[in-house]
Structure 1
């Protein structure tokens, strides 16, 4: 999967707000070139929630383990929930893994090297082994984000 294929897939889900920070838009320079996906059917960045998925194209401070400084390397980060996390890693988010997985391994679903403890999964350069799984995890993350949004909207309408 290419970055554009991933962005196109997520953009095709309902209510998605896609942010692509760039020079001159007021975003931090470190985020330029990356992509952030929110469930926001009103088109407004939610003030109280994080994206449900991101595509990052470079190392961030404290997040170098995936070695995104390699040519043509990117990582899809997905908040697909505890059940999906356990299914893919074999352990709960706050538990230690019984086997170590190289966070720079390509085309492999892994616990996010930094945010795995809060249930995020990641895939470096999704390809033939993980393309279908990446799409399914993104659908799950989108569904969870939509459900959270609807619960919040329902609680504020009362």
Structure 2
């Protein structure tokens, strides 16, 4: 069984308190922001599923290829 980006996001959101999901710039990210105190929160991880204007080195245009960034 292959793991998918949605699996990672769901696991984090279901198992850790104070996390919020934010989508922007073609990425979905998880931030720690208990109570919504900060505008976004503290970056925890992002999942990028496509190349961006300033980032083509990962070649995310290939089928079933994506990248997880952990901060």
* Common topology (TM > 0.5): yes
In structure 2, C-alpha distance between the alignment counterparts of 1:69 and 1:48, rounded to whole Å: 28
Gaps of 5+ in 2: none
Corresponding residue of 1:65: 57
> Is this contact kept in 1: 2:33–2:40, CA < 8 A?
no
Q: Counterpart in 1 of 2:12?
A: 10
Matches of 2:41 and 2:34, distance apart in 1: 14
SS of alignment partner, residue 65 of structure 2: coil
- 1:100-139 alignment, distance < 5 Å: none
Describe the SS at the equivalent of 1:14. coil
Gaps of 5+ in 1: 22-30, 80-158
How does the TM-score come out when normalised to structure 1? 0.38
SS of 2:35's equivalent in the other structure is coil
Over aligned residues, Cα RMSD in angstroms?
2.1
After superposition, give the CA deviation of every residue in 1:61-88 in whole Å (9 maximum; x if it has no partner).
2211111011121111111xxxxxxxxx
Residue pair 2:20, 2:31 contacting (<8 A) in 1 also: yes
User: Which of structure 1's runs of 4+ aligned residues deviate more than 3 A?
Assistant: 47-50
Question: How many residues were matched structurally?
Answer: 68
Task: Kindly indicate which of the two structures has a greater share of residues assigned to strand.
Answer: 2
Residue in 2 aligned with 1:133?
none
1:37 alignment partner, one of 30, 41, 45 = 30
